[in-house]
Structure 1
Amino acid sequence: MTRIKICGLQTREAVRAAAEAGADFIGFVFARSKRQVPPEQVGELTHGLAAPRRIGVFVDESLESLLAAGKAAALDGFQLHGAESPALCRELKEQTGKLVWKAWPVRFDEADAQIRYYRGAVDAVLLDTYHPGAAGGTGRTFPWRGIARFREWLPDVPIFVAGGLTVDNVGELVDEYRPDGVDVSSGVESNGAKDADKIKRFIERVRERDGCYRMKKGVSENTAGSSCLKR
């Protein structure tokens, strides 16, 4: 099943919407961003809610800062978008016992092969759109054909895909490329704020395509039949 992360949450309403729609992970941005929240606020946003696992988004923080933020926000995992080394990722995993994901901007050049050094150091790699000077959050897709190369370099590492995902294109991604997970932020927003209906429809679309895939593999899935015939 494709894992789903709804990222860039800033309100209790957004957290509730993601939880009720069935997200696997919710993301809080601690790096400088228009969606930035302080680690101490995460407890307020999730208090009393049956929230999915919490992932903090960071860019080039020290190990000490990561440990402090992880404790303050009671994180279940860390998503690292900077130039964090495999050694730092490994140390963070060892000291916290939490998930560590390495975000990787897909460049389609020799630099991409460096991701091989993170094998064994991280729990997942999140492929995102490369843009000079931006550490993610571009709202644009990258050519998904590049996913195959990363599977060759990381045969036993789950691969998540981010960058420009919406309810209109995530079905194609899941159908054709079968990522282990998807990560969306701006694609489930209206006027810069998380939209509960878009969150719900995004998650429904992913689950629908998961169901279609299982049917194609010969697994009975009563809920997906008619929608699968549309493609």
Structure 2
Amino acid sequence: MADPLIVKICGIKTPAILDAAIEAGADMVGFVHFTRSPRHVSIEDLATLIGEARGRVETCVLLVNPDNSCVAEVAALGPDWIQLHGPESPHRVEAIRAEAGVEIIKAVPIGSAEDVKNIASFVDVADRILLDAKPPKGADRPGGLGETFDWALLEGLDPSIPFLLSGGLTPQTVAEAIRTVRPFGVDVSSGVESAPGVKDKRLIEAFIRNARAAS
């Protein structure tokens, strides 16, 4: 019996959407603390959301190339995970994990076979790996920005490395992604929004339903 699929809904900004994601059966919820993102939440709002989620669902705070004071401030709120979504080196990921005392998800952007080779350098320094689409050149923030990457690239990945799949997933594409790529989890943000940063309860429900059916 394979482990059950992990479904992560990222970029949640309000208690109402947090409740909707939990009720729909999400395993993890993500909050973005990065001012350039339309999904950014302040430290005060993070504290509220993490408090409301505690004991109900695993929480993850997404940071981009954070400095030590930012890491300490977020770690003090007691999230289950910190997700590093910037150009952090393996050494920096290891240092943040040691300093924060919080489990780390490292997002690795995939756009080429070279990027797939790069995944291995993070396996021992992060607790989970998340594979996202490489942002287009000139993008002002990291992440797939709603784009998928060529899943065939992952045929070159060591099959013993488990990963969460992200990047352009939607309620319509998640089942095919799970069947094709066989990730141990899926992560969605813009694919369940009606506008940038605005989550849609029905899209969240459909995404989770379709993901569970495919796994």
Indicate the TM-score class for this superposition, using the shorter chain for normalisation: 0.7 to 0.9
Question: C-alpha displacement at 1:109, in angstroms?
Answer: 4.2
- In structure 2, what is the equivalent of residue 140 of structure 1? 147
Farther-moved stretch of structure 1 (22-31 vs 49-58): 49-58
Q: Please tell me whether the aligned partners of residues 133 and 143 of structure 2 are also in contact (alpha carbons under 8 angstroms).
A: yes
CA distance 1:14–1:137, change in 2 (3 Å): farther
TM-score by length of 1: 0.82
Structure 1 Cα separation of the partners of residues 52 and 170 of structure 2: 29
Structure 1 Cα separation of the partners of residues 193 and 131 of structure 2: 21
Question: C-alpha displacement at 1:165, in angstroms?
Answer: 0.6
Structure 2 Cα separation of the partners of residues 160 and 188 of structure 1: 17
Aligned AA (1:56) = V
1:93 aligns with 2:100: no
Aligned AA (1:63) = N
Farther-moved stretch of structure 1 (47-56 vs 172-181): 47-56
Q: Deviations over 1:7-47 (max 9, x none)?
A: 11111111001111111111111112111001221232354
Give secondary structure in 2 for the equivalent of 1:87.
helix
Q: Deviations over 1:111-145 (max 9, x none)?
A: 44222211211111111111223401511111111
Structure 2 Cα separation of the partners of residues 201 and 141 of structure 1: 19
Q: Which runs of 4+ in 1 moved over 6 A?
A: none
Structure 1 Cα separation of the partners of residues 129 and 12 of structure 2: 21
Residue identity over aligned pairs, in percent, reads: 35
Structure 1 Cα separation of the partners of residues 174 and 183 of structure 2: 10
Question: C-alpha displacement at 1:89, in angstroms?
Answer: 1.7
Question: C-alpha displacement at 1:52, in angstroms?
Answer: 1.4
Give secondary structure in 2 for the equivalent of 1:163.
coil
Q: Please tell me whether the aligned partners of residues 116 and 153 of structure 2 are also in contact (alpha carbons under 8 angstroms).
A: no
Structure 2 Cα separation of the partners of residues 86 and 141 of structure 1: 24
Larger CA Rg, structure 1 vs 2: 1
Match of 1:35 among 17, 36, 39: 39
1:110 aligns with 2:117: no
Equivalent residue runs for 1:190-205 within 5 Å: 190-192=194-196, 193-205=198-210
Match of 2:61 among 53, 56, 65: 56
Structure 1 Cα separation of the partners of residues 192 and 86 of structure 2: 24
Match of 2:214 among 191, 209, 225: 209
Structure 2 Cα separation of the partners of residues 202 and 37 of structure 1: 23
Q: Deviations over 1:130-167 (max 9, x none)?
A: 122340151111111122323x1xx5442111111111
Structure 1 Cα separation of the partners of residues 125 and 113 of structure 2: 23
Q: Please tell me whether the aligned partners of residues 128 and 136 of structure 1 are also in contact (alpha carbons under 8 angstroms).
A: yes
- In structure 2, what is the equivalent of residue 184 of structure 1? 188
CA distance 1:168–1:58, change in 2 (3 Å): same
| RMSD of equivalent CA atoms | 1.8
Aligned AA (2:176) = E
- In structure 1, what is the equivalent of residue 176 of structure 2? 172
Unaligned runs of 5+ in 1: 211-231
Structure 2 Cα separation of the partners of residues 177 and 169 of structure 1: 12
Structure 2 Cα separation of the partners of residues 137 and 37 of structure 1: 19
